A and B are shown apart, each in its own frame.
Chain A
Amino acid sequence: GAGVSQSPSNKVTEKGKDVELRCDPISGHTALYWYRQSLGQGLEFLIYFQGNSAPDKSGLPSDRFSAERTGGSVSTLTIQRTQQEDSAVYLCASSPGLANNEQFFGPGTRLTVL
């Protein structure tokens, strides 16, 4: 079956513009995660969705970042008024939803803010 997909694969934008990044999780997975990976670094947790529960937004770095998940499936990560320090790879992962379950990652979206 299909894995986690993300679009676009690459995004170049100008400072101050808004961007939307999309994640399509594995069908049937109730948990969805967003991470940010800066060059040569590990993954930084951003936000977590589980079913219909309120998302854990504790990792979002500022109020310019927001995410939603429609219908318990597709998720969109929005960055408003992008800054150069937002440049990174944004990774999405999904899991069946139980604690300690394996997270399956998408290929990521590489965001470059000029």
Chain B
Amino acid sequence: GESVGLHLPTLSVQEGDNSIINCAYSNSASDYFIWYKQESGKGPQFIIDIRSNMDKRQGQRVTVLLNKTVKHLSLQIAATQPGDSAVYFCAETPDSSYKLIFGSGTRLLVRP
């Protein structure tokens, strides 16, 4: 069936380093992808999105890369800070629908 998954359940990085969180998706018809950040005890918070007609999109300290050939999505965080510690989810929207299919999440730990 359709699925969105992550390669690494936990990522530990040194403060100031760059972080890369990866995500694989299986539905080639998906045309919209979102990264969410979820801190403990809170709901997911939108970070950045990308549509399938793009392969890269940049925000403030974050970049999302989309490789449709291998159905891979990544989130890059520059100069990782302690406040970036959270669980990060990728989500896809198949066929321009309203539903989001979430991956299982990657926990990012930032070492001081």
- A41 near B104 with CB under 8 A, answer yes
CB nearest neighbor in B for A95: B98
CB nearest neighbor in A for B104: A42
**A102 contacts across to B, CB distance below 8 A:** 34, 46, 49
Rounded to whole angstroms, the CA-CA distance of A44 and B44 in the bound complex is 13
B33-58 CB mask vs A (1 if < 8 Å, else 0) is: 01010000111111001010000000
A26 contacts partner chain B, Cβ-Cβ < 8 Å: no
- B43 near A106 with CB under 8 A, answer yes
CB nearest neighbor in A for B44: A105
Q: How large is the interface on B (under 10, 10 to 19, 20 to 34, 35 or more residues)?
A: 20 to 34
Q: How large is the interface on A (under 10, 10 to 19, 20 to 34, 35 or more residues)?
A: 20 to 34
**B51 contacts across to A, CB distance below 8 A:** 100
Besides A35-B102, A50-B98, A100-B96, 19 other A-B contacts (C-beta < 8 A): A4-B43, A33-B98, A33-B100, A42-B4, A42-B103, A43-B44, A43-B91, A43-B102, A44-B102, A56-B98, A91-B43, A99-B97, A100-B31, A100-B51, A100-B93, A100-B98, A105-B36, A107-B42, A107-B43
